[in-house]
Structure 1
Amino acid sequence: MTINSTQFDGNQWVSQVQAWALELGFSQIGVASVDLSSAEAGLLAWLEQGFHGDMAYMANHGLKRARPAELVPGTLSVITVRMNYLPRDTPDGWQTVEWVRLDHPTEGIVSVYARGRDYHKVLRSRLQKLSDRIAQAIGPFGHRVFTDSAPVLEAELAARSGQGWRGKHTLLLNRDAGSLFFLGEIYVDVPLPVSEPVQEHCGTCNACIEVCPTQAIVAPHRLDARRCISYLTIEHAGAIPLELRAPIGNRIYGCDDCQLVCPWNKFAQRSPLPDFDPREGLSGQQLVALFEWTEAEFLQRTEGSPIRRIGHERWQRNIAVALGNALRAGADVGPFLQRHVQHPSGLVREHVLWALAQGR
């Protein structure tokens, strides 16, 4: 659309959008330009090293990921948003609670962000509402909303628009909110004043690099996704590499270690939305009980959850690995595993047999 510059105060308008965003449960907005050319070399190097693993979609769109105006022709600015996701009733000292969970080998650990409603659904719906509110104020305008759903350099755009800085684990960090938030974008055909980026505040801290169970953070700001537990338990469809099964421990969907250890997450903010409250059955549950979910039960219990996307087979594969690690830790899960050595899925069966071997 074309805006009469004599009647349009960009800074005042962005402030108004921020107010609307807060009403919708967003924590902050920013504005980034569409020029991400300086990020292209890093993206290409990461892809050339194969660090994206099975995530072919990371390479399928070429450099469109770093070129918003090519992905959505007519885009002049990118409105970025972040939304805190720590559940409303999260206790003080929540990091300690999560570390203790990892010391209970028979409990299945789902990443904090995935215990509630699928964030794709929450953010997409609210981003569209925000876009509709903007349209009411300025008239129809060209736009498209994204949240982890297209070839978009989300963390890069967020960093360039003042939402935070890239931590050494590659996640975005914010001085007032740590890293426990989701990101989203609205590509718009409106020229807007760009937000100022913020300074980096990691200093000499390497806690995230040192804590990673699989050493997936191969250097500051460099993640080999093929070794990342989140990638292995969610994105990877085949057998989990043998050498990475033991470090997975009892993590069955995602991993929070690099966030739990980060000093900035003492400032993590609770979400005001009920959407991210933990669902019954996805927190504090025993591995045996979770493995026994039938496919119908899995689909019913994960309806509207991000977990559903991995499917029942991968769910059981992940739990079989965790059961093997529990058996090695002395848990009495051998008889249960023995009952599943003839599992109809070859993928699950392989991991069950591996799990049984951990008790020898």
Structure 2
Amino acid sequence: MAAAADIRTAIRARALAEGFDAVGFAPAALDRRVGAWLADFLAAGRHGDMGWLAARAEWRADPRAMWPAARTVLALGLSYAPDRDPLELLRHPDRGIVSVYAQGRDYHDVVKRRLKRLARWLHETEGCAVKVFVDTAAVMEKPLAARAGIGWQGKHTNLVSREHGSWLFLGMVYTDLELAPDAAEEDHCGNCRRCLDACPTDAFPAPYQLDARRCISYLTIEHAGPVDPGLRPKLGNRIYGCDDCLAVCPWNKFARRTGEAEFLPRAELTAPRLADLARLDDPGFRQVFSGSPIKRIGRDRFVRNVLYALGNSGDPAMAAEAARLLDDPDPVVRDAAAWAVARLTRPSELHQARHE
């Protein structure tokens, strides 16, 4: 037991030395209630177009189904806490809001690089087998992180930490080492429901339940087609993701601004002008968002989001910017452009805007 305790201590020290802010150990197993929750979520169709969630549901519900040799999960968290209110730009409808997590370098690259260094050290030190994951595999990071004691899943279904608030990137190391788990974190949400009340699209049918089909993060990132016209006005000027439910969490008062340079916001993404973004062609989009997670959704989906934001700006001068894209090669962009022009233009002016 002493040797195992020493291994845990050494792993924790090494993880902190690699720059991780939160470290916890969990058994390579999940409570059956987690699998039941996932099954209900999928059966209700609340995953929307995210077919990949259903494709490996059995792996998500049971880490050993994916890797039978797994015995322990090392859960790691890396803070990306901002130094300003993410909701401030809601008062500036001519600017686009990019979710805090996407304003810096792609976290997948940063977290995975550190996970690999940690896993390599663990393998070389203990001779154990290891696998690393950063939310691109069939792994339920949030329930595992909660079981490992680094936070709990709040009523918005995201992880909340007493030390880091709602601002943690998560990574997992699976290993065949048998190590004692940490105590699972208790739920500290109490009677608070700020996150539920803050959601612009009412994406939470109940506390601890999410309908992704109404979530702005899903709609602006995962959903490829036109957004339901009834939801478009609720997007406001959010053009990539949404931080509303995260930003209002009272536990954020304990979070300190991230010290990770690669997560600090790029100047061009802190308050970008919608008019400038609407003019991006594919090469321009790729250049602006090189090294950013935004690049993965492609120019067309991104410009679609920008056009919805233009339509919500309330500024008739923006109609001309939207009208430039009425003949865009992409049909979803054309649809978004027509919607924005109609929102910003009086019927008598619509014909003129189309031909400017």
**Structure 2 residue 60 is matched with structure 1 residue 75:** no
1:231-270 correspondence to structure 2 within 5 Å: 231-270=218-257
How far 1:269 sits from its partner (Å)? 2.7
Determine the C-alpha separation between the residues in 2 that align with 1:84 and 1:331. Answer: 40
- Secondary structure at 2:131 match in 1: strand
Q: Choose the corresponding residue for 1:340, options 322, 325, 331.
A: 325
* Matched-pair contact (CA < 8 Å) for 2:81–2:164: no
Which gives a bigger RCO, structure 1 or 2 (Cα 8 Å, sep 6+)? Answer: 1
Determine the C-alpha separation between the residues in 1 that align with 2:321 and 2:60. Answer: 46
How far 1:136 sits from its partner (Å)? 3.0
Q: Choose the corresponding residue for 2:338, options 353, 357, 360.
A: 353
**Structure 2 residue 97 is matched with structure 1 residue 102:** no
- Secondary structure at 1:242 match in 2: coil
* Matched-pair contact (CA < 8 Å) for 1:105–1:331: no
Q: Choose the corresponding residue for 2:210, options 219, 223, 228.
A: 223
Determine the C-alpha separation between the residues in 1 that align with 2:131 and 2:124. Answer: 16
> Which residue identity lines up with residue 144 of structure 2 in the other structure?
L
- Secondary structure at 1:162 match in 2: coil
Determine the C-alpha separation between the residues in 1 that align with 2:157 and 2:291. Answer: 27
Q: Choose the corresponding residue for 1:193, options 159, 180, 183.
A: 180
Runs of 4+ in structure 1 deviating by more than 4 angstroms, as ranges, are none
Q: What is the aligned partner in structure 2 of residue 290 from structure 1?
A: 277
Aligned length: 344
In structure 1, runs of 5+ residues without a counterpart are none
* Matched-pair contact (CA < 8 Å) for 1:176–1:268: yes
Determine the C-alpha separation between the residues in 1 that align with 2:321 and 2:275. Answer: 8
When the two structures are superposed, what TM-score results if normalisation uses the length of structure 2?
0.94
How far 1:76 sits from its partner (Å)? 0.8
**Structure 2 residue 27 is matched with structure 1 residue 33:** yes
In structure 2, runs of 5+ residues without a counterpart are 347-356
* Matched-pair contact (CA < 8 Å) for 1:180–1:269: no
Determine the C-alpha separation between the residues in 1 that align with 2:166 and 2:88. Answer: 20
Determine the C-alpha separation between the residues in 1 that align with 2:68 and 2:285. Answer: 40
Q: CA RMSD in A?
A: 1.3
**Structure 2 residue 124 is matched with structure 1 residue 136:** yes
Q: Choose the corresponding residue for 1:114, options 95, 102, 106.
A: 102
> Which residue identity lines up with residue 352 of structure 1 in the other structure?
A
Q: Choose the corresponding residue for 1:44, options 39, 42, 49.
A: 39
How far 1:71 sits from its partner (Å)? 0.6
Q: What is the aligned partner in structure 2 of residue 175 from structure 1?
A: 162
Q: What is the aligned partner in structure 1 of residue 115 from structure 2?
A: 127
How far 1:35 sits from its partner (Å)? 2.2
Q: Note the alpha carbon deviations across 1:169-188, whole angstroms, 9 max, x for none.
A: 00011111101010110010
